[in-house]
Structure 1
Amino acid sequence: MTATQDLHPAVARAAAAAAEARPEFGEFFLARFLGLDISYDDQARTCTVVLPYAAHLCNPQGSMHGGVITTAMDISMGHLCHRFLSTAVTIEMNLRFFRPLTGTGRCHAAVLRPGRRIVHLEARLTDEQDRLVAFAAGSWHRLDAEPST
């Protein structure tokens, strides 16, 4: 029996995520800890992030914590921008919650406006019944942009 087999499953997952994390898209700690499945549609130029339901990521009411949802939506937009435009960092993000997430969620991210320096993106999180759970709109600064004078 290994040391991680003696741990609570959530602690074992965190330990494995930390040990196996690499500083690259899809392999960093949070993506691994949350168990995110990240995929792309090259034709539609979208990114989908599946956020699996896990009890240790929930609030006391039993639904996915809003901070976890926010993180998954931010990751979906960041991966979208990196895949189709350039690496970028979040400048701001507005988020609205419409219903609790009590099962696996799917974040669908799309580009609204692919600016040369500032990119505008959106992400929609749906539940297993394809109902809208949350909507986010964000602005991102492209790291390949010319510095402004």
Structure 2
Amino acid sequence: MSTAEVTAAMSGLDLMRWVQTQRTADIPSIGRLLGMRFDEVEHGRIVISLDTRPDFANPLGTVHGGIAATLLDSAMGCAVHTTLPAGVSYTTLELKVNYIRAARTDERTLTAEGTVIHTGRRTATAEGKVLDEEGKLIAHATTTCLIIGSTA
């Protein structure tokens, strides 16, 4: 049985727990590209972190807003996924990000937390925030996801 067949049979929560425990260095993904770590996985909630680096810089020399947006999209989307049964997936319909302050590129840890607000049969909503290692708010967001497959 292939990895895809095994993971397709898992609930969203089990799949996210599996991702948390796997060596993702060999799996091509946005998480591997950015060095994301799944720190906490529970039903309706995910915490993901990464360490900033100079490659994340915008022209001003701070972390590009797309890094925070990607962290938020990943944390909120994966939080939604934890609420879904096996064979059901999601995709982001809308992402609204509010940037609060710049983050530094010198190997500082950014931590994103995504929390589900509502999961219905066709859509789900979640909220998220990114904090720096001093606990300062970098950005916060909301998302709406389309549920793909049957939840009935």
TM-score by length of 1: 0.74
Instruction: Please tell me the root mean square deviation across aligned C-alpha atoms, in Å.
Output: 1.8
Structure 1: state its 5+ residue gaps.
Answer: 1-18, 22-27
Equivalent residue number for residue 114 of structure 1: 119
| Shift of residue 81, structure 1, vs aligned partner | 1.5
> Relative contact order (alpha carbons < 8 A, sep ≥ 6): 1 or 2 greater?
2
Equivalent residue number for residue 136 of structure 1: 141
Equivalent residue number for residue 123 of structure 1: 128
| Shift of residue 134, structure 1, vs aligned partner | 0.3
Equivalent residue number for residue 20 of structure 1: 26
Superposed, which structure 2 residues align to 1:1-149 within 5 Å?
20-21=26-27, 28-42=28-42, 45-85=44-84, 86-102=88-104, 103-145=108-150
> Aligned partners of 2:39, 2:81: CA distance in 1, in Å?
13
> Aligned partners of 1:31, 1:48: CA distance in 2, in Å?
13
Q: Deviations over 1:104-140 (max 9, x none)?
A: 2100000111122110011100111111110110000
| Shift of residue 144, structure 1, vs aligned partner | 2.0
Q: Secondary structure at the match of 1:84?
A: coil
Name the count of aligned residue pairs.
121
Amino acid in the other structure paired with 1:77: M
Amino acid in the other structure paired with 1:32: R
| Shift of residue 67, structure 1, vs aligned partner | 1.1
Q: Is the 8 A contact 1:113 1:119 kept in 2?
A: yes
% identical equivalent positions: 26
| Shift of residue 47, structure 1, vs aligned partner | 0.1
TM-score by length of 2: 0.72
> Aligned partners of 2:38, 2:144: CA distance in 1, in Å?
21
Q: Secondary structure at the match of 2:82?
A: helix
| Shift of residue 29, structure 1, vs aligned partner | 2.1
Q: Is the 8 A contact 1:81 1:87 kept in 2?
A: no
Structure 2: state its 5+ residue gaps.
Answer: 1-24
> Aligned partners of 2:93, 2:42: CA distance in 1, in Å?
25
Higher alpha-carbon Rg: 1
> Aligned partners of 2:150, 2:130: CA distance in 1, in Å?
29
